[in-house]
Amino acid sequence: MSINLEYYKVFYYVAQMGSITLAAEKLCISQPAVSQAVRQLEQSLDSQLFLRTSKGVRLTREGEFFYDYIKTGLDSIWHGENMLRRMKDLDTGEVRIGASDMTLQFYLLPYLERFHELHPGIKVTVSNGPTSETLRFLYEGKIDFGVVSTPFDARPEVTIMPVKEVENVFVAGDKFRYLQGKKLGYEILKELPCIFLEKNTSTRAFMDRFLAERGVEVEPEFELSTSDMIVQFAMRNLGIGCVMSGFAKVELERGNLMELKFQEEMPKRHFSIITDKKTPVSPAGKGLLQLMKNDIS
């Protein structure tokens, strides 16, 4: 059965107001057009929906039964339209982000705070994991965008926007104070106990690649899942730790750690925002991205 959906809307307002005249005024159409729509609907359903009275119209028993369904359906449609408008106005909705501990703490968190102040009705979901996992979530459409650290390999459809420069540092505790102030060669790491991140992280991949290009291969004594733990292990003199500088900043300033200096500095890396051309970004996600891009331009 094919019935013009506009007829249901006409039926709804005639039933609500009990008057063809008032319904016509509400809908901004003529009375004959309302009467015609009602007749067409009754003919299509093979049912009498209204009784004409001297004061207007009232629903038949069949009309009352039908009205409950139409009201529920139209209320749902109008609620959906309203929610869609609110999403576009950033009054409601959800933004889904992929980020590592490092990018979340040293880049993304201040933006989430500002975004929440501007749009408290938006739900923010952060999938916390290494770069490889963030890329997988992006490919699968589980996140609007990701914030990752270089280096990483991505599919051609991924758009990459560098947003912040970062650097790796090697840090150690008092046990290794004899190395302070010296310009070291990276070969010395093969003679020292080392504390690195796990191999599935971009930080570890970057460091391994840099060292391998210089003929240095290091088997660390400890492989940990978080940079915070590397700092703690290094403070307890368990080895030389390699972390993004931000993680060690406080303990370096307190003197609990020292930074080792090398003859050749390790190149800087970047935090980057990644989006997928095949995955549409939600209105809330676009709002957060714009907030972040405003600081770049």
pLDDT value of position 82: 66
Query: Given the DSSP bridges, would you call strands 269-276 and 158-166 parallel, antiparallel or unpaired?
Result: antiparallel
Distance CA 245, CA 240 (A): 14
What percent of the chain stands above pLDDT 70? Answer: 95
Structure tokens at 37: 């729509």
Strands (E), 13-167: 50-53, 56-59, 94-99, 123-128, 145-149, 158-166
Give 87's contacts (C-beta < 8 A, 6+ positions apart): 93, 282, 283, 284
> pLDDT tens digit string along 90-107?
666 888 999 988 999 999
Do residues 165 and 106 lie in contact, with contact meaning Cβ atoms separated by under 8 Å? Answer: no
Low-confidence ranges of the chain (pLDDT < 50): none
The SS3 call for residue 129 is coil
The SS3 call for residue 269 is strand
Say if 5-88 and 94-165+270-294 have the same CATH topology: no
Q: Which residue bears the tokens 């070969």?
A: 187
Q: Count the neighbouring beta carbons within 10 Å of the beta carbon of residue 124.
A: 15
CATH number of 5-88: 1.10.10.10
pLDDT value of position 37: 92
pLDDT value of position 94: 85
Q: Which residue, 269, 262, 263, 234, is CA-closest to 250?
A: 234
pTM listed for this prediction: 0.67
The SS3 call for residue 148 is strand
Distance CA 197, CA 205 (A): 9
Do residues 178 and 167 lie in contact, with contact meaning Cβ atoms separated by under 8 Å? Answer: no
What are the residue boundaries of the structural domains of the chain, listed by start? 5-88, 94-165+270-294, 168-267
Task: For 168-267, give the CATH class.
Answer: alpha beta
pLDDT value of position 296: 77
> pLDDT tens digit string along 171-221?
999 999 999 999 999 999 999 999 999 988 888 999 999 999 999 999 999
Do residues 40 and 7 lie in contact, with contact meaning Cβ atoms separated by under 8 Å? Answer: yes
Give 187's contacts (C-beta < 8 A, 6+ positions apart): 216
Q: Is 24 left (phi over 0), alpha (psi -120 to 50) or beta?
A: alpha
Do residues 224 and 199 lie in contact, with contact meaning Cβ atoms separated by under 8 Å? Answer: no
CATH architecture of the domain with residue range 94-165+270-294 = 3-Layer(aba) Sandwich (3.40)
